[in-house]
Amino acid sequence: MRFGRFDDAAREYVIETPRTPHPWINYLGAESFFSLVSNTAGGYSFYRDARLRRLTRYRYNDVPQDANGRYLYIREWKDGVPVGPAWNPGWKPTKTELDSYECRHGLGRTTLRGEKNALRATVRMLVPLGETAEVQELVLENRSSAAKTVKIHSFVEFCLYNALDDFTNFQRNLNTGQVEIEGAGIYHVTEYRERRDHFAWFWTDAAIAGFDSDRETFIGRDGDYACPLAVEKGASGNSVADGWSPVASHRIEWTLAPGEKKRAVFVLGYTENAAARKWEKPGVANKEKARAVQARFADPAGFDAAWKALEAFWTDKLSRFSVQTGDEKLDRMANIWNQYQCVVTYNLARSASFFESGIGRGIGFRDTCQDMLGFVHLMPEKARERLFDVASTQFPDGGAYHQFQPLTKRGNADIGGNFNDDPLWLVMGVAGYLKETGDWAFLTESVPFDNDPKNAATLFEHLKRSFNHVTDNMGPHGLPLIGRADWNDCLNLNCFSTDPNDSFQTSGNKDGRNAESVLIAQMFVYAAPDYVEICKRMGDGAEAERASKAAADMEKAILKSGWDGEWFLRAWDDRGGKVGSKDCPDGKIFIETQGFGAMARVGAAEGYPLKALDAAAKHLDTPHGAVILDPPYQEYHLELGEVSSYPPGYKENGGIFCHNNPWLMIGEARNGRPDRAFAYWKKIAPAYREEISELHRMEPYVYAQMIAGKGSARHGEAKNSWLTGTAAWNFVALSQWIVGVRPEFDGLRVEPRLPSHVKKATLRRVYRGAEYLIEVDNRNNTGEVRLSADGAAVDGCVLPAAPAGSSVRVKAVVG
Ligand code: GLC
Ligand code: GLC
């Protein structure tokens, strides 16, 4: 069952009912100001950091769900008496039944349209480029033949900036709230008189009949968002918050003639002032910058220009990779939604979604290096900056803080390091960046270790330490030590936690010298060729040779101690037991090592890649994607940690991790079975799951981290949409391996491995400033690929990088 439809021309998903199985959200903002907005106008805004600069309040885990946002209450009045109940264009929070409803989530913008009793409200929202503000434009149209008088109450609730403190520290916080009112501007100046150099504000260009900034006055002592006292009375208290909870609400009163439309904008802004310019008069915050923003949007042309500029921004970004295959679901994922999600995921890391509360983790070292792979073609400058920041948190021994904080760019000491896969992701992230950009100078830049400018080395040196961190930390089978965990955060083989108050990730892990990860070994083999090439080009032949030998030894070690007969083992535990073996009662086979083993072509001479993939197909595949392991652990295993803590079928204990399904896809594509690659993708790609939205429950336009596995009671139900490495890895699998356009160090490889139902495809790829227009004739998708560029046959499948600004016409005949 569907709850909406794709509008590909508008690059929007159109939600046709507010009663979606879960709030279906979107993100506004692509620079420093971000808003989450659900299909019923719920969500919140923040500046840069969802924890430390939260501008509006949101209540996670509340009932009913998604009960705070930016709301417009509309009510008709006649002769001083209300005509029917108040309603919202996005249905919530009044939940008054609408005559019609539509929510369009687009790229960085959302439009809500609600109609009640011949009044149609259209609300367009965006965070304009270059602004630190969320702007909403309301157009209210009287579609009846009689004049109508309406009262409109706007509403946002301010958060006291530090979201965690705001949730917990009431003895202080209920005393600190302060606002200033100036015309239609309600300025939230809590703590501005002390250490803050910033404030948030809410303003409208409409003439206002009243306002409120004290929550209790607006809502009433026993009121709620569904029925605020001020809306009920059709009045405002003109309240000035003093302690308690500051909010912002305007009241507008309009009379609309038949057919008339009226328009108002509402701006939620964030302003920062330098110390010397903090005050405009003693005790009065300097609002100069805020007024300048307001002036830009008081003019309707200002809003339209911002709307168009945002559209142009996305058109430009998305034009760097686009493909037409005739399979509309494939095309919309590849051309619109997968790339959009890659950008959002890069911007927000794992901070703020409807599953990540914005107060928890910083930016993950491994997470961001992987996000890079799906993002670098869109905004290489930003990727460079992030790689620099990530590498700056690395330890001198090549290890890494598992996470760092975006505001301070410092490693996060609470969680520390010792996730032994982390260093290798830096090698892969940087290699991805180099292949896209050819920016070899990046490797010679000086980058600190652990943010200590006194201890800096070239980025190339950081990569060396990363690579060698693996070989410096080897276990008894000649395989890499796992440390706290590898990619699978929940495989905690040194944790042994018996205390429910422990966190699996941070609790007293022993400095284990036994538990080893086959995955890290395979990642090492996978990353080695790129690393060797980097060493050669940096003129370090000795290191290149050493690294090749280390990779060959690693492969031997995997063949000897990492193969279980029909598939790759997952790990060795601390006491020397196998993890992911046919001998284990549960957790006999894991996806990670089948996927990565096949990607790295470990044991190709023995036929292991295909065997591993066949085993994955046999034991892990389901109609909803491949589970991470099987059978799920039925009991808690002290020696395995969090992986066995989840109920069977969820998360790392047998859920479908959409993040590593692409490893199977890439493995299949690389090992000559493109139809199987596509079949895996189709099962988890949201556009293909749209028809089962009642089961899937998450947004049909973005991937979810996890879909409940076959071991659970809710098989097929997704959770944790939006912020997940799933976006990047699926885009890599889709664009680089299935569509088959893959940057290499010296050029663009074109090796389509499209599914057999796609007979012809055309695509455009911008690479190092040159445009490649590629036509694919997919005669037999496992066959040889023959290329020609501008009419001349090309030897092999790699097109050399063409001069920036040039355009190359390419024909690829497959089979
Ligand atoms: C989450 C984490 C990621 C980890 C994965 C598997 O997605 O963000 O770092 O690799 O779970 O545990
Ligand atoms: C939990 C989650 C896992 C995530 C980790 C990150 O273990 O289950 O998916 O990677 O937290 O800290």
What values do phi and psi take at 102, rounded to 5? -155, 135
What pLDDT shows up at residue 696?
Answer: 98
Ligand 2 pocket check for 422: Cβ under 6 Å: no
- Measured distance CA(632)–CA(474) in Å, rounded: 28
Counting ligands in written order, the one closest to the CA of 504 is: 2
pLDDT at 413: 83
Read off the pLDDT of residues 297-348 as tens digits, 9 standing for 90 and up.
998 899 999 999 999 999 999 999 999 999 999 999 999 999 999 999 999 9
Residue tagged 């983790």 (tokens):
361
Instruction: Give the ligand whose atoms come closest to the C-alpha of residue 722.
Output: 1
Q: For residue range 136-191, list pLDDT tens digits in order.
A: 999 999 999 999 999 999 999 999 999 999 999 999 999 999 999 999 999 999 99
User: Nearest residue CA, atom 8 of ligand 1?
Assistant: 367
User: CA–CA separation, 319 vs 8, rounded Å?
Assistant: 14
Q: Has residue 415 got a pLDDT over 90? A: no
Smallest CA-to-CA distance from 393 within 379, 405, 380 is with 405
**128 CA → ligand 2 middle, Å:** 34
Say if residue 509's pLDDT is above 80. no
**What pLDDT score was predicted for residue 503?**
86
pLDDT at 427: 98
pLDDT of 27 over the 80 cut: yes
Q: How far is the CA of 504 from the centre of ligand 2 (A)?
A: 9
Query: Which tens digit of pLDDT belongs to each residue from 110-149?
Result: 999 999 999 999 999 999 999 999 999 999 999 999 999 9
Q: Which of 361, 490, 503, 706 to mutate to test the pocket of ligand 2 (most atoms within 8 A of CB)?
A: 490
At residue 286, what is the residue type? N
Give the tens place of pLDDT for each residue, 557-598: 999 999 999 999 999 999 999 999 999 999 999 999 999 999
CA of 528 to the centre of ligand 2 (A): 28
- The answer to whether residue 489 is catalytic is yes
Say if residue 78's pLDDT is above 90: yes
> Which residue, chain included where needed, has tokens 């009932």?
63
Atom number of ligand 1 nearest to Cα 659: 7
CB 642 less than 6 A from any atom of ligand 2: yes
Q: One of 489, 573, 574, 630 is an active-site residue; which one? A: 489
CB of 505 closer than 6 angstroms to any ligand 2 atom: yes
Q: Residue 416 — very low, low, confident or very high, per pLDDT cuts 50/70/90?
A: confident
Residues with Cβ within 6 A of ligand 1?
350, 364, 366-367, 487-490, 652, 659, 705, 724-725
Which SS3 state, helix, strand or coil, does residue 603 take? Answer: coil
What count of Cα atoms within 13 Å lies in the side-chain half-sphere of residue 130? 11
Q: What is the pLDDT of residue 774?
A: 98
The closest-lying atom of ligand 1 relative to the alpha carbon of residue 705 is 7
Banded model confidence at residue 495, pLDDT cuts 50, 70, 90:
very high
Q: Which two tokens stand for residue 715?
A: 């098989």
Q: Which of 191, 187, 199 is nearest to 173 (CA)?
A: 191
Residue of the nearest CA to atom 5 in ligand 2? 489
- Which residues, other chains included, contact 76 with Cβ-Cβ below 8 Å and sequence gap of 6+? 82, 83, 84, 117, 119, 148, 149, 150
Element housing 388 (H / E): helix 380-392
Residue among 402, 404, 489 whose CB has most ligand 2 atoms within 8 A, to mutate: 489
The residues with which 766 forms a beta bridge, in sequence order, are 771
HEC assignment per residue over 643-680: HHCCCCCECCECCEECCCHHHHHHHHHHCCCHHHHHHH
For the chain, the residue count is 815
CA 488 to centroid of ligand 1, rounded, Å: 6
Ligand nearest to the CA of 645: 2
Query: What gap in Å lies between CA 349 and CA 139, rounded to an integer?
Result: 34
The pick from 523, 659, 661, 726 for probing ligand 1's pocket by mutation, whose C-beta has the most ligand atoms within 8 angstroms, reads 659
From the list 752, 743, 744, the residue with the least C-alpha distance to 786 is 752
Q: Is 489 in the pocket of ligand 2 (CB under 6 A)?
A: yes
- Which atom of ligand 1 has the smallest separation from the CA of 726? 7
d(CA 668, CA 280): 65
Cβ-based neighbours of 183, under 8 Å, separated by 6 or more: none
Q: What does the DSSP 8-state code read for residue 703?
A: -
Cβ of 490 below 6 Å from ligand 2: yes
Q: Please tell me the distance between residue 725's alpha carbon and the centre of ligand 1 in angstroms.
A: 8
Q: How far is the CA of 489 from the centre of ligand 1 (A)?
A: 6
Asked whether residue 7 carries a pLDDT value surpassing 90, the answer given is yes
In this prediction, residue 81 carries a pLDDT of 97
Among protein residues, the one whose CA lies closest to atom 10 of ligand 1: 487
DSSP H or E run through 510: none
State mean pLDDT over 475-502: 95
| Mean pLDDT, residues 626-645 | 97
| pLDDT tens per residue, range 256-302 | 999 999 999 999 999 999 999 999 999 999 999 999 999 999 988 99
- Amino acid found at 473: N
Percent of the chain with pLDDT over 90: 95
pLDDT of 407 reads 77
Average pLDDT, the chain: 97
Question: Do residues 496 and 639 make contact, with C-beta atoms less than 8 angstroms apart?
Answer: yes
Over the stretch 712-750, which tens digit does the pLDDT of each residue have? 999 999 999 999 999 999 999 999 999 999 999 999 999
Q: Whose CA is nearest to atom 7 of ligand 1?
A: 724
User: 647 and 756 in contact (C-beta within 8 Å)?
Assistant: no
- Across the range 413-418, mean pLDDT stands at 85
Atom of ligand 1 nearest to the CA of 724: 7
What percent of the chain is predicted at pLDDT more than 70? 100
Query: Of 678, 737, 109, 668, which Cα lies nearest the Cα of 374?
Result: 737
Counting beta carbons within 10 angstroms of the beta carbon of residue 1, is it exposed (0 to 12), middle (13 to 18) or buried (19 or more)? exposed
Assess whether pLDDT exceeds 80 at residue 508: no
Determine the distance separating the centroid of ligand 1 and the alpha carbon of 138, expressed in angstroms. Answer: 40
**Average pLDDT of 399-418?**
86
Nearest to 511 by CA among 574, 567, 554: 574
- pLDDT tens for each residue of 210-241: 999 999 999 999 989 999 999 999 999 999 99
The average pLDDT across 666-673 equals 98
598 within 8 A of 664, measured Cβ to Cβ: yes
Residues 402 and 380: their CA atoms lie apart, in Å, by 23
- Closest Cα to atom 11, ligand 2: which residue? 489
**Residue 659 in contact with ligand 2 by CB distance below 6 A:** no
Cβ-count burial 562-582 (b if 16+ within 10 Å, e if not): bbbeebbbbbbbbeebbbbbe
pLDDT at 56: 98
Q: Is the pLDDT of residue 510 over 90?
A: no
Euclidean distance between CA atoms 724 and 659, whole angstroms:
7
What is the rounded distance in angstroms from the CA atom of residue 38 to the CA atom of residue 71?
Answer: 12
Sign of the CA dihedral running 6, 10, 15, 16: negative
Provide the pLDDT for residue 360.
79
CA of 39 to the centre of ligand 1 (A): 27
Region 685-706 average pLDDT: 98
What is the pLDDT at residue 211? 98
Whole-structure pTM value = 0.97
Count CB-CB contacts under 10 A for residue 784.
Answer: 10
DSSP SS3 for 22:
coil
